[in-house]
Structure 1
Amino acid sequence: MKLIPTALTAALLTSMATCALAASTPNLTVNGIITPAACTPNFSSNALVDYGKISRQDLSIDNRTRLRNESLDLNINCNKPVRFALIMRDNREGSAIVNSEIYYGLEFDRSGNKIGMYSLQFDPANTVVDAWPQVYRTDSTTGGQAWSTSRSSAIPIGAQSYLGFTNVAGSTAGPVAIQSLSSRVTLVTYIAPTSTLDLTDDATLDGSATLEVVYL
């Protein structure tokens, strides 16, 4: 007789466990689109900017020192017209002397001090896209959901904001389809004050970033 209540209790516990399990198992949905479009970005000079040896006496003790600007040619060629944007990832994240999405780090000296930072400036005036008479830039801080008013002013390529291109001034419609883009971009580099650096030995500038093409 004692076996019956025990069996009923076991059955009840099993039922409760089943209900709890069903209530805590959400569905996972995976979406995506495979596109035949393909764009290939390339920098001139093998994407290398070399400042060579920089003398300590040419650097400021108490202020950041801006090095000479360097330029690279950026070419993006697509196999068909496609809407895309650019974003850049810092491979030396955490080493820039200013915490901002537009600045990328130059690594650390032997004592772990941040050596400097750089930005990559994009200028529509130095850009040719297909047969457009003029190029305008537009950017998005919402992953492409909304776009800033397109304009002709220069802007640094960011690590969190999309940079897109259009041939329409004053537009918030976002980028238009492009097959070929050529631009002269400018590297702007700053070295930290020498009072904050360990210069008992060479400090090596070792910046590295990856430019990404984001298909829209």
Structure 2
Amino acid sequence: MKRILTALTAALLMSTTTGALAASPNALLVKGTITPVACTPIFSNNGLVDYGKISRQDLNVDKRTQLHDQFLDLNISCNAAARFALIMRDNREGSAIVNSEIYYGLNFDRSDNRIGLFSLHFDPARTVVDAWPEVYRTDSTTGGRAWSTSRSSPIPIGAQSYLGFTNVAGSTAGPVAIQNLSSRATLVTIIAPTSTLDLSDDATLDGSATLELIYL
């Protein structure tokens, strides 16, 4: 299985992985697949979302504050149609104020308090794939062995669930081969109550996650 990674705030990376193999204790097995298919995922603005200066007065003292939604365009281009799925990894793992696979951390303030979280939502209605008249999303919590019923509702991308796309509504067959995909993803950011933060100095939002493209 080949994986392509692109960071929200970093450059494009590539890596390959293989599964564990049973072998005798003194055997060495090296396996893999070289495929002619190549897909390149690219975020707009190099994947950078900058909220600039946020005044303490604009944040809630005793409850969380949701900042204005931001948008990132994701374009995936392949040199031939390929079946793939997306997953995202938190580069600030353990710093989100809610423990869930769909939330990613904004790091810690100077007193090691969790600053907040963000999530990235994909909407089939804002996604264009090849010449498809309609786009539906499907996800898998089993590493691609089984897929949810495809539907048109938005979904946040998770760290443990594959996200794929198909042109068939109500299907459990998983993603369909795609050559070109364009999607406007919504970034939702939430800040912890200021009563739980050390704001004696600037607290810097420092979220980072890596979007991973997995060939199926």
Q: What TM-score do you get using the length of structure 2 for normalisation?
A: 0.86
Kindly report which structure 2 residues correspond to 1:78-157, keeping only aligned pairs within 5 A, or say none.
78-157=78-157
TM superposition shift of 1:162: 0.3
- 1:66 is aligned to 66
Can you give the 5+ residue segments of structure 2 that lack an aligned partner in the other structure? 1-23
Q: Secondary structure at 1:51's aligned position in 2? A: coil
3-state DSSP of counterpart to 1:173: coil
Distance 1:149 1:75 in 2: 24
Q: By percentage of residues, which structure has more helix?
A: 1
Is the counterpart of residue 200 in structure 1 residue 200 in structure 2?
Answer: yes
Shift of 1:46: 1.6
Q: SS of the counterpart of 2:46?
A: helix
Alpha-carbon separation, structure 2, partners of 1:162 and 1:30: 26
- Alpha-carbon distance in 2 for matches of 1:37, 1:159: 25
**Counterparts of 1:184 and 1:215 in 2: how far apart (Å)?**
21
Does the residue aligned with 2:198 lie in a helix, a strand or coil?
A: coil
Partners of 2:159 and 2:30 in 1: how far apart? 25
Q: After superposition, where does 1:162-173 map in structure 2 within 5 Å?
A: 162-173=162-173
TM-score (norm 1): 0.86
SS at match of 1:75: strand
Task: Give 3-state SS (helix, strand or coil) of 1:42's partner.
Answer: strand
Written as runs of structure 1 = structure 2, the 5 A alignment for 1:18-29 is: 25=25
Q: How far apart are 1:45 and its partner, in Å?
A: 1.3
The structure-2 alpha-carbon separation of the partners of 1:149 and 1:77, relative to structure 1 and needing over 3 Å to count, comes to same
Amino acid at match of 2:211: L
Cα 1:26/1:151, change in 2 over 3 Å: farther
Distance, in Å, in 2 between the alignment partners of 1:201 and 1:33 is 51
SS of residue matched to 1:95: coil
Match of 1:76 in 2: 76
| TM superposition shift of 1:28 | 6.7
The residue type equivalent to 1:97 in the other structure is: I
Q: Which residue matches 1:48? A: 48
* Overall identity of the aligned pairs, in %: 80
**Superposition RMSD on alpha carbons, in Å?**
1.3
Provide Cα deviations, 1:53-88, integer angstroms capped at 9, x if missing partner: 111111111111000000011100001000000001
Q: Which residue of 2 aligns with 1:184?
A: 184
In structure 1, list runs of 5 or more residues that go unmatched: 1-23
Number of residue equivalences: 193
1:34-45 counterparts in 2 under 5 A? 34-45=34-45
SS in 2 for 1:46: helix
